[in-house]
Chain A
Amino acid sequence: MKHTLSVLLQNKPGVLSRVTGLFSGRGFNIKSLCVAETLDPSLSCLTLVTNGNDAIVEQITKQLHKLIDVIKVTDISEGEFVEREMALIRVKAENTTRAEVLRVIDIFRGKVVDVSSKSYSVEVTGSANKIQAIIDILRPIGIKEIVRTGTIAMARMPKK
Chain B
Amino acid sequence: MGKMRGSEAIIQCLLEEGVKTIFGFPGGAVIDLYDDLLDSEVNHVLVRHEQGAVHAADGLARVTGDVGVALLTSGPGATNGVTAIATAYLDSIPIVILTGQVPTPLIGNDAFQEVDIVGITRPCTKHNYLVSKAEDLVPTIREAFHIAKTGRPGPVLIDLPKDVVATMVEFSEKKPVRMQNYQPTYEPHMGQVEKACKEIVKAKQPVLYVGGGVILSNASDELTELAKKLNIPVTMTLMGLGAFPGSDDLSMGMLGMHGSYTANMAVAKSDVLIAVGARFDDRVTGRIDAFAPHAKIIHIDIDPTSISKNVKVDIPIVADCKHSLTAMNQWLDNCGENLDDLCKSHTPWIETVADWTAKHPMAYIDEGETIKPQYVVEKLDELTQGDAIITTEVGQNQMWAAQFYKFNKPRRLVTSGGLGTMGYGLPAAIGAKMAFPDATVIDVAGDGSIQMNIQELATAKQYGVNVIVCILNNNYLGMVRQWQELFYDKRYAATVMEVTPDFCALAEAYGAVGIRATKTSEVEDVIKQALEAVKTSTVILDFRIAREEGVFPMVPAGKATTEMLLV
Contacts and interface: CB of A to CB of B under 8 A. Distances in A.
Interface string A47-81: 00000000100110011011011110000000000
Nearest to B128: A14
Interface string B147-171: 1000000000000000000000000
A26 to B, nearest CB: 9
B282 to A, nearest CB: 15
B147 A68 contact: yes
A25 B123 contact: yes
A59 B309 contact: yes
Contact of B305 (A14, A25, A59): A59
B305 A18 contact: no
A65 B119 contact: no
A142 interface: no
Contacts of A71: 180-181
B487 interface: no
A68 B181 contact: yes
Contacts of B127: 68
Interface in A8-38: 10, 13-14, 17-18, 21-22, 25
Given A59-B309, A71-B180, A66 B119 contact: no
Nearest to A68: B127
A42 to B, nearest CB: 10
B122 A65 contact: no
B304 interface: yes
Task: Name, among B126, B147, B181, B308, the residue most crowded by chain A CB atoms within 10 Å (CB to CB).
Answer: B181
Interface string B125-136: 011001000000
A63 B126 CA distance: 12
A22 B304 CA distance: 16
Contacts of A65: 304
A18 B303 contact: no
A68 B152 CA distance: 12
A132 B180 CA distance: 40
Contacts of A58: 308
B504 interface: no
A62 B306 CA distance: 9
A62 B123 contact: no
Contacts of B309: 59
A6 B332 CA distance: 42
A90 B303 CA distance: 49
B158 to A, nearest CB: 13
B182 A68 contact: yes
Interface in B298-312: 303-305, 307-309
Contact of B181 (A10, A18, A21, A55): A10
A21 B122 CA distance: 8
A58 B122 CA distance: 22
Nearest to B147: A68
Contacts of A25: 123
A17 B119 contact: yes
B16 to A, nearest CB: 21
A69 B130 CA distance: 14
Nearest to B180: A71
B118 interface: yes
B182 A21 contact: no
A55 B308 contact: yes
Task: Name, among B123, B180, B307, the residue most crowded by chain A CB atoms within 10 Å (CB to CB).
Answer: B123
A71 B182 CA distance: 8
A62 B119 contact: no
Interface in B373-397: none
Contacts of B180: 71
Contacts of A69: 181
B285 to A, nearest CB: 16
A68 B308 CA distance: 21
A62 B182 CA distance: 13
B304 to A, nearest CB: 5
Contacts of A62: 304-305, 307
Given A14-B118, A17-B119, A17-B122, A70 B305 contact: no
A68 B119 CA distance: 15
Contacts of A17: 119, 122
A55 B305 CA distance: 11
A70 B123 contact: no
Nearest to B151: A66
A64 to B, nearest CB: 10
Contact of B122 (A13, A18, A55, A59): A18
Contacts of B130: 13-14
B68 to A, nearest CB: 20
B181 A70 contact: yes
B164 to A, nearest CB: 15
Nearest to B184: A66
Interface string B322-338: 00000000000000000
B305 A66 contact: yes
A59 B304 CA distance: 9
A22 B181 CA distance: 18
A10 B129 CA distance: 13
Contacts of B118: 14
A148 B566 CA distance: 60
Contacts of A59: 305, 309
Interface in B20-66: none
Interface in B239-274: none
A66 B122 contact: no
Contacts of B181: 10, 68-71
A21 B308 contact: no
Nearest to B182: A68
Contacts of A21: 122-123
Interface in A55-112: 55, 58-59, 62-63, 65-66, 68-71
A63 B305 CA distance: 6
A153 B308 CA distance: 29
Nearest to A65: B304
Interface in B173-221: 179-182
A18 B126 CA distance: 11
B135 to A, nearest CB: 15
Contacts of A22: 123
Interface of B: 118-119, 122-123, 126-127, 130, 147, 179-182, 303-305, 307-309
7 contacts: A10-B181, A14-B119, A22-B123, A55-B308, A65-B304, A68-B126, A68-B147
The 5 closest A-B pairs by CB, nearest first: A62-B305, A68-B127, A71-B181, A62-B304, A25-B123
